Amino acid sequence: MEEAKHAASIALENVTYRYSIGTPFEKAALQNISLQFEGGIITGLMGHTGSGKSTIAQLLNGLLQPTEGKVTIDGKDIWEDPKKISQIRFRVGLVFQYPEYQLFEETVLRDIAYGPGNMGLPQEEIQRRVADAAKFTGITPDMLEKSPFELSGGQKRRVAIAGVMAMDPEILVLDEPAAGLDPRGRKEILGGIRAYQREKKNTIIIISHSMEDMAIYADKLMVLDHGHVSRYGTAHDIFCHAEDLKRVGLSRPQITKFIMELQKAGIPVESGIYTVDDAYHEVLRVFGEKERG
């Protein structure tokens, strides 16, 4: 049997991050925060605007350096040798919000190949990776030869994500990868990220505001509140604390609220339903019905 691939875990240890240090605007975006993203799973990172999500994303791949504390991959400080921080950026891929504005190459193919090219990989390996990343992001072969600027916004988004996937990072951080996409686009992008994670068995962190999406696509959820971890666990652990979520500016999926209303109306459905699929099967169970072929 093939040996299970080791998946890297990444952590913040007592991290404080201040910006505009030495000016009257100096402010702590994060104050003594500790958290760990487990290896080999998809974690949904959620929190209200200003809760520190994007600062954390930039700390994880070394774009920002903690003012105090450490960022560690498998326990090892990424800033141990600051000269080698660019190596960390190959290991921790970061897809920004609205990454479609960052495309610049002449063709889609060259844009996706840019990252792996910078890593000094052989041509064959680059081609293999581009094809692989294109597969997970739904980029068709005819799109590869086009200019990124001929593509729609949703297609450009896929190219930008593919470009980071092609670097095959041990840890991939995506900031709102589905923001502004139509429902089908959301499903395709998030489904593609999940399929990619299941094949590579690497570590993925998705920043999102959508409880509905994260209930489906994330393995674990982490909720931030003013720069601290307010909860961490499975969808069940998170969504059973409705009051908590409300306090931090988030809410449970619409379907979860609906199931609670059914309970109140005297229909004995179980709580702990977070997706339409689960709700469907639970209602059938309570009614003693079976799905028709």
Partner 1 sequence: MEHQYIIEANNLCFSYKTEDGGAFPVIKNLSFAIEKGSFVAILGHNGSGKSTLAKLCNMILTPDSGTLVVGGVDVTRNDLSEDDIYQLRRQIGMVFQNPDNQLVATIVEEDIAFGPENLGIPPKEIRARVDDALRAVNMTEFARHSPTQLSGGQKQRIAIAGIIAMLPDCIIFDESTAMLDPIGRAEVMETIERLNREKGITVLLITHYMDEAIRADRVIVMNQGEIFLDDTPRRVFSKVDQLKSVGLDVPQVTDLVNRLRTDAGFSIPADILHSAEAVEVLKTLYQQKKLRIDREEK
Min separation Cβ 7 and partner 1, Å = 29
* 28 sits near partner 1 (criterion: CB under 8 A): no
* 184 sits near partner 1 (criterion: CB under 8 A): yes
* 271 sits near partner 1 (criterion: CB under 8 A): no
Among 11, 131, 179, 229, contact with partner 1 (rule: CB under 8 A):
179
Min separation Cβ 193 and partner 1, Å = 18
| The one segment of 32-40, 117-125, 199-207, 249-257 that binds partner 1 by CB under 8 A | 249-257
Closest CA to 200 of 228, 176, 165, 231: 165
* 289 sits near partner 1 (criterion: CB under 8 A): yes
Min separation Cβ 288 and partner 1, Å = 8
* Contact between 9 and 220 (Cβ < 8 Å): no
- Token duo for residue 15: 């991290």
Alpha-carbon distance of 89 to 78, in angstroms, equals: 10
* 104 sits near partner 1 (criterion: CB under 8 A): no
Residues numbered 188-227 forming contacts with partner 1, rule: CB under 8 A? 209, 211-212
Among 145, 267, 271, 285, contact with partner 1 (rule: CB under 8 A):
267
Among 21, 50, 81, 199, contact with partner 1 (rule: CB under 8 A):
50
* 288 sits near partner 1 (criterion: CB under 8 A): yes
Footprint of partner 1 on this chain (CB under 8 A)?
Answer: 47-50, 152-154, 176, 179-185, 209, 211-212, 249-251, 253-255, 257-258, 261-262, 265-267, 276, 279-280, 283-284, 286-292
